[in-house]
Amino acid sequence: MTTRTAAEFIPPVHDVPRLAAAVQTCRGCGLYENATQAVFGSGPAAARMMLVGEQPGDREDLAGEPFVGPAGRLLDKAIDEAGLERAPLYLTNAVKHFKFVASERGKRRIHKTPSRTEVVACRPWLFAELEAVEPQVVVLLGATAAKALMGSDFRVTAHRGEALRLPALDGIPATVRDAAVVATIHPSAVLRGPSDAREESFRSLVADLRLAGDLLPA
């Protein structure tokens, strides 16, 4: 049996509106079954900077837009403090459907980290977005996004504050070979971390976003 992936659902022309429409038909892994809808990337198709999160959360699954829940609010604040604006950025996720488990009483949907198989299955969408948007700077928010593009051995903590490049990974378009890459923590990690460490981890996220801004060609 061949491994299922999103590849066969990707339309031949990689522009953002076509991709965003086609992603709703994707059956590249099992995650579409329980989610409300796929959540594609959002932002200008000619954005110079792309931010990649993990997967939509509960709020994003309902709204159909990335980063509109609590993690998105924290990210907005970090973007602002880094001297950037959200509107010109293209925001997306490594995985396009929300993975969750029901809480004990079944009232809440609790985020579950996508498996490596699901990340790899969904990755053709991210490759297609990279090709369509051709960002000059890519920010990887958290381990899932970082491992999706940098390889499964990649450790965010070992590479904070560095200007990286995308590896020559099968599927990464040649047109983004020169893009600068910054790997940082996920905004949810700031929210989930111990409260006495929150300010410091928020500051470190802001510093990494500032670096990403500085890496944009003048």
Q: Does 67 bind ligand URA (CB under 6 A)?
A: yes
Residue 171 burial by CB count (10 A; 0-12/13-18/19+): exposed, middle or buried?
middle
Tell me which of ligand URA, ligand SF4, none is bound by residue 31, counting a contact when its beta carbon lies within the kind-specific cut-off of 5 to 8 angstroms: ligand SF4
Among the listed residues 60, 118, 129, 208, the single contact to ligand URA using CB under 6 A: 60
Q: Which residue is nearest to ligand URA (CB)?
A: 53
SS3 143: helix
End-to-end, the C-alpha distance of the chain in Å comes to: 49
Element (H, E) at 164: strand 164-165
- With contacts defined by CB under 6 A, how many residues of the chain interact with ligand URA? 13
Measured from the CB of residue 213, what is the shortest distance to ligand URA in angstroms?
20
Measured from the CB of residue 32, what is the shortest distance to ligand SF4 in angstroms?
4
Work out the angle between the directed axes of helices 70-81 and 195-214 (0-180°, nearest 10): 60
Q: Please choose, out of 21-29, 60-68, 101-109, 116-124, the segment that lies near ligand URA by the rule CB under 6 A.
A: 60-68
Q: Of 13, 1, 19, which is closest to residue 122 (Cα–Cα)?
A: 19
Q: Please choose, out of 21-29, 64-72, 122-130, 195-203, the segment that lies near ligand URA by the rule CB under 6 A.
A: 64-72
